[in-house]
Amino acid sequence: MRLKLFFIGGLAFLTVSCSRNAITGRNQLQLLPEAELQSMAKSEYQTFLSQNKIVSSSVSKDAEMVKRVGNRISKAITQYYTAENKGDILQGYQWEFNLVDSKDVNAWCMPGGKVVVYTGILPVTQNEAALAVVMGHEIAHAIAQHGNERMSQGLLAEGLGTVGSVLTSGNPTVNNIFNTVYAPGAQIGVLLPNSRKQELEADQYGLIFAAMAGYNPNEAVPFWERMAKAGGGQKPPEFLSTHPSDETRIAKVKRYAKDAMKYYKPVK
d(Cα 41, Cα 143) in Å, to the nearest integer?
13
Amino acid identity for residue 233 in this structure: G
Question: Which residues belong to the active site?
Answer: 138
Q: In 3D, which of 28, 26, 41 has the Cα closest to residue 192?
A: 41
Asked if 98 and 85 touch (Cβ cutoff 8 Å), the reply is: no
Q: In 3D, which of 73, 220, 215, 75 has the Cα closest to residue 136?
A: 73
Distances (CA, A) of 128 to 19, 20, 222: 35, 33, 13
Angle between helices 172-182 and 146-157 (to 10 degrees): 130
Instruction: Give 90's strand partners.
Output: none
State pLDDT tens for residues 121-166: 999 999 999 999 999 999 999 998 888 888 777 776 665 444 444 4
State pLDDT tens for residues 65-103: 999 999 999 999 999 889 889 888 899 999 999 999 999
Q: In 3D, which of 168, 187, 198 has the Cα closest to residue 116?
A: 187
d(Cα 15, Cα 252) in Å, to the nearest integer?
31
138 vs 1, higher pLDDT: 138
> So what's the pLDDT on residue 11?
39
